């Protein structure tokens, strides 16, 4: 599946080919990423291939983010709770592609997609101290801190569709 985010950004369902293309960027950022995610510094490409084989769309899905045709990050879904119609979302954008609104625009597009599936909320578990992610999440429409855990903050964001005419969320 492909989701067009804007003229520069596109999301494509992760597969072996784009996982291979993205992996060098992931390895470059692995030391930093391992601060925020449960990922070992000796992470291997085979693990990405295993994930591609085991995921179960649409509720266990990952998208590779492309910026001007180049893979630059990932947005993924996990821990779908059918009884609450909510799901967790994670993202990562390679360091050289940051500060271009790629992450927030990609997240908003995935949120639109999830809303079209009938989900009501998206959740983010953010490690304390990850100020950039906390700031980004606080820019999402309706985002609130739902729960504080010892090492993590859980944010909740309602899913709403953007208006077709201007691409903005209704107030």
pLDDT tens sequence for the chain (171 residues) = 888 889 999 999 999 999 999 888 888 877 777 667 777 767 778 888 888 888 877 778 899 999 999 999 999 999 998 888 899 999 999 999 988 999 999 999 999 999 888 899 999 999 998 999 999 999 999 999 999 998 899 999 999 755 444 454 444
- Residue 54 is predicted with a pLDDT of 87
The long-range contacts involving 79-87, CB below 8 angstroms and separated by at least 24 positions, are 79/123, 84/120, 84/121, 85/118, 85/119, 85/120, 85/121, 86/119, 86/120, 86/121, 86/122, 86/123, 86/156, 87/59, 87/114, 87/119, 87/121, 87/122, 87/123
Could you tell me the pTM of the whole model?
A: 0.85
pLDDT of residue 165: 46
d(CA 107, CA 170): 17
pLDDT, position 58: 77
The C-alpha atoms of residue 24 and residue 162 are separated, in whole angstroms, by: 34
How many residues can be counted in the chain? 171
- Look at the domain 2-123 and name its fold: Aminopeptidase (3.40.630)
Q: Which residues contact 33 (CB under 8 A, 6 or more apart)?
A: 26, 39, 92
Location of structure tokens 């990850």 = 130
pLDDT of residue 169: 44
Alpha-carbon gap, residue 12 to 3, rounded angstroms: 6
Tokens representing residue 97 in the block = 């592609």
Domains of the chain by residue range: 2-123
């Amino acid at each position: 599946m492909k989701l067009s985010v804007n003229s520069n950004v596109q999301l494509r369902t992760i597969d072996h080919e784009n996982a291979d293309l993205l992996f060098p960027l992931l390895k470059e950022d692995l030391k930093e990423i391992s601060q925020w995610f449960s990922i070992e510094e000796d992470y291997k490409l085979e693990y990405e291939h295993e994930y591609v084989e085991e995921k179960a769309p649409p509720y266990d899905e990952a998208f590779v983010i492309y910026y001007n045709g180049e893979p630059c990050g990932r947005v993924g879904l996990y821990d779908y709770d059918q009884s609450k119609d909510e799901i967790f979302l994670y993202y990562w954008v390679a360091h050289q592609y940051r500060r271009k609104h790629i992450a927030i625009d990609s997240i908003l597009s995935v949120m639109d997609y999830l809303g079209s599936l009938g989900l009501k909320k998206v959740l983010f578990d953010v490690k304390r101290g990850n100020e950039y992610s906390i700031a980004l999440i606080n820019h999402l429409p309706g985002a609130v801190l739902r729960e504080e855990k010892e090492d993590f903050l859980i944010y909740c964001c309602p899913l709403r569709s953007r208006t077709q005419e201007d691409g903005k969320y209704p107030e």
